[in-house]
Structure 1
Amino acid sequence: YLAFHEAVFTAPTRIASAADIDAVARSAGLDIARLHTDMQDPAIANAIERNRALGHALDLSGTPAYVIGSQIIDGAVGYERMKAAITAERSQGETAQNGG
């Protein structure tokens, strides 16, 4: 997965066709026949649809998006922003556990 993911995001041209997908997959060392089989697998389509529906339900507008406790952070954020969100959620959890 990671090799294909990286190949997609570093492709020198826009991926606009099935042939382009095959070329990128081949460059990442994927088994093209297996890729085609997996692309037709209803279980994979269902997993993708569940993820899409969850993103829609959470009103996410794109990627990346992070759900940290009750916070939804849309878009790329730096380390400090992510650390602050985690710290805030942890402190809320501690307050709730201590009866606050």
Structure 2
Amino acid sequence: DPKLKVVLKEFPVLGPSSVEAAQVGVAVRMQDPSGKKYLDFHQKLLNGKGQADKARSMAAARDAGADMARLEKDLTSPEVRATLEESFKLAEAMGMNGTPSYVIGKQVVIGAVGVETLREKIGIARCGKATC
């Protein structure tokens, strides 16, 4: 859908390993103005097996073409920390408590609701009915 704007926010809610993976994600995004490596990183991480932790995240970042020396340096940067804090504040303000979560128009949708439900919510946001 070329009219759909997708904004991915790191929101680590599954414990310390999730926080580590999110830190890697933010650091990858910091070195990728186009967002292509960042998207590739997430696809590699989410399509892999096992829990998203630092080791798997670093492997996905390497496979996506990240500058690993810079990534290691950026992991503990104030920018990474501030980005994650901002995500938590935003999620709290919107009543989000888990992932995946979506903001579609003025509605917050929490959970893996499926593609058809997302399409319906997008239609409602666009034209007031499930199918425009």
Q: TM-score band, normalised by the shorter chain?
A: 0.5 to 0.7
Q: With the length of structure 1 as denominator, give the TM-score of the two structures.
A: 0.67
Q: Specify which of 40, 51, 61 is matched with residue 97 of structure 2.
A: 61
**Cα shift at 1:91:** 4.6
Matching of residue 39 in structure 1 with residue 75 in structure 2: yes
Q: Specify which of 122, 125, 131 is matched with residue 86 of structure 1.
A: 122
Cα RMSD between the aligned structures? Answer: 2.5
Structure number with the higher helix fraction is 1
Q: Percent identity?
A: 37
Runs of 4+ in 1 over 6 A off after TM superposition: none
How many angstroms apart in 2 are the aligned matches of 1:41 and 1:91?
43
Q: Which has the larger radius of gyration?
A: 1
SS, match of residue 67 in structure 1: strand
Q: For structure 2, which runs of at least 5 residues remain unmatched after alignment?
A: 1-37
Q: For structure 1, which runs of at least 5 residues remain unmatched after alignment?
A: 93-100
Name which structure has the greater RCO, CA cutoff 8 Å, separation 6+.
2
**Cα shift at 1:65:** 1.1
**Cα shift at 1:37:** 1.8
Q: With the length of structure 2 as denominator, give the TM-score of the two structures.
A: 0.54
Aligned residues: 91
Matching of residue 51 in structure 1 with residue 87 in structure 2: yes
SS, match of residue 76 in structure 1: coil
